[in-house]
Structures are given as structure tokens and as C-alpha cells.
Chains A and B, each alone.
Chain A
Amino acid sequence: MIRRTLMTTAAAGFALALGGTAMAGEPMDHVKACFVYVGPIGDGGWTFQHHQGALAVQETYGDKVEIQWQESVPEGADAERVLTQMALGGCNIIFTTSFGYMDATNAVAAKFSNVMFEHATGFKRDSANVSTYNARFYEGRAIEGLIAGRMTKSNKIGYIASFPIPEVVMGINSYFHHAKQVNPDVELTVIWAYTWFDPAKEADAAKAMIEQGVDVVASHTDSTAPLAEAAKSNGAVIGFGQASDMAEYKPSPRVASIIDNWAPYYVKRVGALLDGSYEQVDAWEGISGGEVLIGEITEAVPAEVKAEAEALRDAIAAGSYHPFTGPINKQDGSPWLAEGQTAPDGDLLGMGFYIEGVTGDIPQ
């Protein structure tokens, strides 16, 4: 108890002594960058890509940066403990890489004003030292949707969803919207797995879909299990690499992939802290900013579909096409976007509805 009080006092003293230095924009000689991961680095997907970003930071700045990370941190009370420990342990900037860390990040950030917090995929920035960053994954989903709509033979496509949060709903809508544009008969099956990482469950979800006649499976969970399940079908079912390239399943079932590329952002932010130009931001880059990459579209996709998908990718990258361009109606038939109107970011970040044509309800 005494030790804990001492530590808190020490931390408070430390905070007072250094409070505001980083925000005031003074350059730093040495930065300790810390990363909190929701899964194991070896997941081959989401966490793996964040770790690649962390390694890129180390490589870019060498001795000037020390990196530290913790894997498989549960979302909730444990996250708060880990964050507090990191803040007390001398971290200057802490990246929390999952939506579920949102409240923990803001709670701990309020206590350590001298430590910068960066929360991935969230929207709360309660204190000045909390920034949020995200990538426009829905842009990648548009390309997946186009391929799915063109490739499906049963006209049934599937989406293994993780949790009912705007990020995922956005992905489902973008995927379905672009499949529907090229194939009006397409039907979408959504399964909520309620996990980011549970290979057996993800495989079961893919299996359940395939048994119902789905022949294109997209996933919003982190492991390669859905692709492994699709691989059992001997080419009848295709899927996509999620978060990471998942190249080992080329050329089929993995016909394309969305790659999260966090390295540019991490390098930029740690660099800003080093040279004193660090400021609170709400970053949301997409294909154009290099944060979302589309992995190689394999020869399992016909050349004309591949060309069409690449044209869509380039249009999004050039900014000439927004994946949510009206007219788009909500599921209940009420209008959302008028002809030619593009979705405002606010609508996307708070997205809690399906677009017209998607069946089923979003679990509450």
C-alpha cells in the first residue's frame, strides 16, 4: 500500500515536473514508444500488422527510440492496468490498438498528461494528450465487394463480423453495396462471431456459411482460419486476406486482401514527438494515404474482373470516387444519401444501420 502510494506520488511529481513539455513542442532526444495489442503478434492479421508498424518505428529511428509492447491484453479493466504500468514505466507515447481500449485509454490519459496516447479506431479524445487514428478500411471492402459480386456463382456472399460497432457495420455496407452494384441478385449472409480472435470459432462460422451455399467469404476477424476453411472446398469457395496479406493462401481461396499498413502513421507520430511538432490529431487515412493497401489480386480472378477492381482501387486512391456515393437508402427504405452525395465522415463513424438490401438486424 505504501509502495503504491509512493509510486502514485512519484508519478504525480514526475507529471508535474515534466507536465506539458511534450505538448509545448520541445524536441526530445529519446522516445519510448509502447504498444498494446489485443491479440498475439503471431495472429497473422491485425496485431501482426501493428507490430510491423512498431518495428518500422524502431528501424527508422534506431537508438533514439525504444519500443515496448504487450500482447493479448484483454479489453476492459486489464487494459487500464497495463496502460497505467506503461505510463509509470516511462513510456512517452502509447498506442492502444483496439476499439475496446477506448475508455481505458481516456481514463489513464487523464491521469498522465505528460504521456501521449494514441487510440486506434476510436472516437473519444477526452483530454489533450489523446489522439485517435484509423484507416478507411471500407475503401478496401468496396474492392472486395466488387470481386465478390462478380465471382459468386450461388449469388450468396458472406461476411464474418466481429462486434456490432460502426467500423464493422461500415465494412458490411461497403462490401454489400459494391457487390450489389455489379450483381443485383446478390444476397449477403452476416455471422456475428463476437470475437476478434478465435480461430476455431472463425472456422466454424465460415463452415456454417459455406454449408448454406455461400461461396465468397469475407471476414472481419483477425485469424486466417476462415481462409483455411475455404481452402477445404477445392476452389469452390473464395475469400480475402484480412488485415494482413495472408499470401500463403494464394492463389485461391485468397484472391485479394486488405492490408493494414500502420508503419507510415507510427513513424510520423513518433517522429513528431522527437522533433517537437507533435499535436493532437484525429487521423483517418485510406488507400490514398497508403494506410490501406490492396494485396495482389490473383489469377483465380478473371482478367476483366481484376482490371475492374484495380480501376476501382485507383479511383478511390485518386479521390475521384467515394465508396459511399448516393443514391443509397437505409435498410428500412428511407433515404440516406441523395444522388451524387457522398457520406460525411460523421455518418460513417457512427454508422449503426444497414443499407437497403441487407437482411437481418444489427445486434444491439
Chain B
Amino acid sequence: MDIGGINPVILVASLMVAAVPIMLAALGELVVEKSGVLNLGVEGMMIVGAICGFIAAVGTQSPVAGFAAGAAGGAVLSLVFAFLTQVMLANQVATGLALTLFGLGLSSLMGQGYNGIKPPVTAKVPFGPLAEIPVLGPIVFGHDWMVYASIALVACVWWVLRATRLGLIIRAVGESHEAAHALGYKVNRIRLGCIAFGGAMAGLGGAYVSLVRVPQWVDGITAGAGWIALAIVVFASWRPWRVLIGAYLFGGISVLQLNLQAAGSGIPVEYLSMSPYLVTIVVLVIMSSGRGRASLNAPASLGQNFHAAR
């Protein structure tokens, strides 16, 4: 069963957990970018979500309350971004970067006094005998409920964007905000909603880091996960199911390289560590070649501000 000293079943099970934060954050950012807004503040929203979720979970001793607070925290922070870019028409790239820096500082301030406290345990979903099934048990039935929720959210976003009127409106706003405006859609309000959704998802991802993956609070806990989420959106060429694949790939490689080391494999660590980024670069090159169908998928109005008076 073991391949090179690594049990593939356990590997798949742990990569599913490792991928949850970046998958949630990337999924939120995908919706934001689909509506034509580039929010580079994912890292900041994640870490604010991580500390808000942590504080709420410790205060109420309920992980569910923690995740809700994490999502709310991320959403509130994203509204700062929404106000600056949609109302004040500030530059989105600069505002997004500022949001990350602000979020890192804010989370550090909020987290004073929360170092070294243990949050309540997020229980595994009790599948009973199902979890005992070999191979399938640990992979499919051995996780906490957030893992299943994250996959359900991917399906949900995919369905909304593809098959509903709301999805059509979001895509229309992202492709051509002027045309959408001419049709009578409130471009900035729709974008504001998408930004808040993206913030909530990033906050949820952050809360997963501080409540499940690391279970504690330390400054800088997300350690760059938000940037990886941004890369996954591009890697996925703005398609929800590819976000899932991208997150498993990125999460999987980071888990795999640690497992390979623990198993004493001879493959140099450095190659594995850089492989996800190499894959991203390759995807970017293919996309920007202009030939592949994927290249048509970037929202046409991405990163451009809109004002009705123009």
C-alpha cells in the first residue's frame, strides 16, 4: 500500500485538509474578479478572519460561531476596500495591497493577549462505520465539516455563476461594466456585494487556519496563504472546479514534500517546494499566448473602476 514509504490514503486525506484555507479564499476572490474587481487584499482579509474567528470561538467555545465571526470579520474588512474603490474610485491594486498591510497590523493588534490559548476543537463529522472503510473511509468520511462545506461551496459558486440570473449579472458586470450599466444594473452595488462575499470567504479560510489547521493564534499565522490563493485564481483561469484542483495541487505538493522528507526520500526538497509556482508560471504563459481557449476567460473589465457619470 505504501509508495516510497508514504501511505497515499493518508496523504490524500491530509492534503484535503491542507487545501481548505486557500480553496475558500481563492473561491471568494474568483467571484470578486468575475465581477471585474481585483482585490489583492486576500492575505489581509484572511488573517483578520483568522483572529476574529479565533476570538469568537474562544469566547463562545463554539467553532461554528468562530467560523461565522471569521467570515464576518473578513467581510467587514473587505467593505473598507469596497468603499475606497467603488465609492472613492481609488486604484484597486494599491488599495488591495494596503488592505493586506492593514489587515496584518490590525490582526496583530486584535490578537494581543490571545497567544497560547487553545480554541475549541472542531469535531469530525460522525459517519460511524463509514469511516472504517479502507481507503475510502479516511479520504471521504474522515474530515471535519468545513472540508465538506468548502467542496459544497465550490459546487455552489459554479452553479450560481453558470446557471443563474445572478451569475449572469455578475459576469456581465465583470465583462463590460458600461454595457451592464446601460441595461440598468447597479454596477458598483453588485461589485460591492461580490467584494463582501470574497471577504467573507477569505475570512472563513483564515478562520480554518486558526481554528483547525494550526489550532492557535500567533501573529502572521496565514504566512502568505492569501497570495497563493490569488495565484490559484489565475491558475484556475477563473473556473470554480479548477480552483478546487489548483488548491489540491498546491496544498498537495506542500504536504507531499514534507511527507517525502519524513519518509527519507532522496528527492531534493527545493524542487518540490518550487513546483507549484513553476506550474503557475507555465499556466500563465499558456494563457497569455492568446491561442488557448483559457486566455479568453479573464474578465474584460478586471481591475477597472466604474463611475456612472462617465
CB nearest to B256 among chain A residues: A208
CB nearest to B260 among chain A residues: A208
Report Cα–Cα, A94/B263, bound state, in Å: 42
Flag whether A212 is at the interface (Cβ < 8 A). yes
Chief secondary structure at chain B's binding surface: loop
Q: Which residues in A have their C-beta under 8 angstroms from that of B224?
A: 198
Do the beta carbons of B262 and A158 come within 8 Å of each other? yes
Do the beta carbons of A228 and B221 come within 8 Å of each other? no
Residue interface mask B19-31, A partner, CB < 8 A = 1: 0010000000000
Do the beta carbons of A207 and B14 come within 8 Å of each other? yes
Q: Which residues in A have their C-beta under 8 angstroms from that of B273?
A: 194
Q: Which residues in A have their C-beta under 8 angstroms from that of B7?
A: 211
Do the beta carbons of B258 and A208 come within 8 Å of each other? yes
Flag whether A344 is at the interface (Cβ < 8 A). no
Do the beta carbons of B221 and A248 come within 8 Å of each other? no
Do the beta carbons of A204 and B258 come within 8 Å of each other? yes
Do the beta carbons of B116 and A208 come within 8 Å of each other? no
Q: Quick one: given A208-B255, A223-B218, A363-B268, are A197 and B223 in contact (CB under 8 Å)?
A: yes
Report Cα–Cα, A203/B115, bound state, in Å: 16
Q: How many A-B residue pairs have CB under 8 A?
A: 108
Flag whether B220 is at the interface (Cβ < 8 A). yes
Q: Which residues in A have their C-beta under 8 angstroms from that of B209?
A: 199-200
Flag whether B285 is at the interface (Cβ < 8 A). no
- Across the interface, B220 reaches (CB within 8 A) one of A39, A203, A209, A212, namely A39
Flag whether A337 is at the interface (Cβ < 8 A). no
Taking the nearest CB of chain B, how far is it from the CB of A296, in angstroms?
A: 16
Flag whether B40 is at the interface (Cβ < 8 A). no
Chief secondary structure at chain A's binding surface: mixed
Do the beta carbons of A43 and B262 come within 8 Å of each other? no
Q: Quick one: given A42-B111, A246-B116, are A228 and B216 in contact (CB under 8 Å)?
A: yes
Do the beta carbons of B116 and A212 come within 8 Å of each other? no
Do the beta carbons of B264 and A359 come within 8 Å of each other? yes
Report Cα–Cα, A208/B112, bound state, in Å: 30
Do the beta carbons of A208 and B216 come within 8 Å of each other? no
Q: Which residues in A have their C-beta under 8 angstroms from that of B219?
A: 39-43
Total interface residues in chain A, CB < 8 Å: 42
Within 8 A of A (CB), among B222-257: 222-225, 254-255
CB nearest to B111 among chain A residues: A42
Report Cα–Cα, A70/B294, bound state, in Å: 44
Do the beta carbons of A208 and B261 come within 8 Å of each other? yes
Q: Quick one: given A197-B223, A211-B10, are A190 and B261 in contact (CB under 8 Å)?
A: yes
Q: Which residues in A have their C-beta under 8 angstroms from that of B215?
A: 228, 231-232
Taking the nearest CB of chain B, how far is it from the CB of A358, in angstroms?
A: 11
Q: Which residues in B have their C-beta under 8 angstroms from that of A363?
A: 268-270
Flag whether B168 is at the interface (Cβ < 8 A). no
Within 8 A of B (CB), among A173-223: 189-195, 197-201, 203-205, 207-209, 211-212, 214, 223
Flag whether A224 is at the interface (Cβ < 8 A). yes
Q: Which residues in B have their C-beta under 8 angstroms from that of A208?
A: 14, 255, 258-259, 261-262
28 A-B interface contacts by CB (under 8 A): A40-B108, A40-B219, A42-B219, A43-B219, A43-B220, A44-B116, A191-B261, A193-B258, A195-B223, A198-B223, A198-B224, A199-B216, A199-B218, A199-B223, A204-B14, A207-B14, A208-B261, A211-B10, A211-B259, A212-B263, A214-B262, A225-B216, A225-B218, A228-B215, A229-B214, A248-B118, A360-B264, A363-B268
Nearest first, the 8 A-B pairs at minimum CB distance are A40-B219, A42-B219, A248-B116, A208-B258, A198-B223, A199-B214, A208-B259, A191-B261
* A contact residues vs B (CB 8 Å cutoff): 39-44, 72, 158, 189-195, 197-201, 203-205, 207-209, 211-212, 214, 223-225, 228-229, 231-232, 246-248, 359-360, 363
* B contact residues vs A (CB 8 Å cutoff): 5, 7, 10, 14, 18, 21, 108, 111-112, 115-118, 209, 213-216, 218-225, 254-255, 258-259, 261-264, 268-270, 273
